Amino acid sequence: MPPPDALAYDILRSLRRILRRVGGHSRALSRSAGLTVPQILCLRAIAAGGPEVTVAGVGRAVHLSPSAVSRVLDRLERAGLVQRVRRAQDRRKVCLELTDLGRGRAAALPTPLHDIFLERLLALDDTRRRVLLEALEEIVHLMEAEDLAAAPLLTPDEPGEPPEDA
């Protein structure tokens, strides 16, 4: 097998930089906020969602499955940041509310990397974004990763847990 050329190694280095940036930013967010990126996203979605926000609504807002959101909400509830509330009008409907502690934490949350990235990405014209997408889709193909589910979030999977969008 012939040795890879310099360009191939440059591509690998670029991929490694992306992976390191995502992991490093996620760890920094967790240290500063005391929460994982999915927890931060869910907390922000609940804060922005109004009085009738549900698990399904949070899932749609953060691009995670209801089961993944439920696991995140369980942790937020144990931390005293969120509570599940049944409404008097319809006892079947469970809404999510921030506790006083949760409101304080939500007001001071740092910005996740994917929000920063999306802002910069959206500043590019459509043609440039399409070129980037095609290149990334080719990398996905080369890595035989087409069948992997992935939410549009820049965060590594939590060790020992199922993927966020499982």
What is the Cα–Cα distance from 73 to 59, expressed in whole angstroms?
Answer: 11
Residue 164 has pLDDT above 50, yes or no: no
Asked if pLDDT for residue 165 goes beyond 70, the answer is no
pLDDT of residue 166: 39
pLDDT band for 130, please (50, 70, 90 cuts). Answer: very high
Task: Please check whether the domain covering 20-142 is classified as CATH 1.10.10.10.
Answer: yes
| Amino acid letter, 158 | E
CA distance 112 to 38: 10
Asked whether the predicted pLDDT for residue 134 surpasses 90, the reply is: yes
Summarize pLDDT for 78-126 with one digit per residue, the tens. Answer: 999 999 988 767 667 788 999 999 999 999 998 889 889 999 999 999 9
The domain locations on the chain are 20-142
